[in-house]
Structure 1
Amino acid sequence: MTVIEYVRGDATAPRGKGVKIVAHVCNDLGGWGKGFVLAVSRRWPEPEAAYRRWHRERARNDFGLGAAQFVQVEPSVWVANLVGQRGIRTGRGSGVPVRYEAIDAALGLLAERAVELGASVHMPRIGCGLAGGRWSRVEPLIAGRLSARGIAVTVYDFGA
């Protein structure tokens, strides 16, 4: 079992050699416009376009909670759009959008792709920003699905 590495930096500039997958959590409404996705879109336009198309054509594909979409953005860099939140937070009393079981399922798909590509995985603290999740619930999912399979995971805390 590998250990999750924590670093300060930008997950859209993944460190290290070899194939890398930058993973993040998306909602199930097709909305892309707040949080980490803005940094993704500033760096690469393809993940947003692919996600919006995936949602628009959802009647004919696997889009939904727990699904994962992989978009190649550079010769050795992929972005994983993981659908792990139900809707978006709209106000008090509506509860948090994070769905841990969906993140867990999407991480399983991410693990399969990482093994297939021989890739390391890079991410912010997924599900813990706008989705409202707690890292104490997400970290064990990452450890179980990725680290336990020997997949190197780097978690980026944005900052200097």
Structure 2
Amino acid sequence: MKTITYLKGDATIPQAKGIKIIVHICNDLGGWGKGFVLAISKKWTEPEKAYRKWYRDRANNDFELGAVQLIQVSEELYVGNMIGQQGIKIKKNEVPIRYEAVKQCLEQIAIKAKQLNASIHMPRIGCGLAGGKWKMIEPIITNTLLEKQLDVYVYDFK
């Protein structure tokens, strides 16, 4: 089985050839304005616009925990908005990350990556504002993406 390739650098500048998917965690409240999304919005306007429209029209679409939205931002690059966070604040010692939703999202990303013959790139998803633990996220990546023999790159910002 493949293993995660850990790199120092910026996940918005994927270091691989061919088609690439950058994935990140979004909340289920329609909020976009802190964390890794700021780096995404600095480079491309489409992912934020698509997420906000997806949220606005949620009564008529699949916007919910575990859902994924894939936005093409250039010929060989996509951004995957993944709804893996419930709310935005820690409440009663409960963090916003929802590991089962992250698993559902990554299962969908695996299918899309196989179809596109794409590699997958990410920061340490779910471990910033969402409050998750990497020791919980890493096995989810192993069981959803690596198990499907996909190339996965995780970036630690310098």
Number of equivalent positions: 158
CA shift digits 1:86-121 (9 cap, x unpaired)? 0001x5635210000000000000000000000000
Query: How far apart, CA to CA, are the structure 2 residues paired with 1:157 and 1:94?
Result: 26
Give 2:73's aligned residue.
73
Structure 1 unaligned runs (5+)?
A: none
SS at structure 1 position matched to 2:92: coil
Q: After the TM superposition, which segments of 4 or more aligned residues of structure 1 sit over 4 Å from their partners?
A: none
Give 2:94's aligned residue.
95
Give 2:63's aligned residue.
63
1:5 offset after TM fit, Å?
0.3
Query: How far apart, CA to CA, are the structure 1 residues paired with 2:97 and 2:91?
Result: 15
SS at structure 2 position matched to 1:122: strand
Give 1:35's aligned residue.
35
Give 1:113's aligned residue.
112
Asked if 1:131 is matched to 2:102, the reply is no
Query: For structure 1, which segment, 94-103 or 14-23, has the greater mean C-alpha deviation from structure 2 after superposition?
Result: 94-103
1:16 offset after TM fit, Å?
1.1
TM-score by structure 1 length? 0.97
TM-score by structure 2 length? 0.98
Residue identity matched to 1:58 = R
Query: How far apart, CA to CA, are the structure 2 residues paired with 1:95 and 1:82?
Result: 20
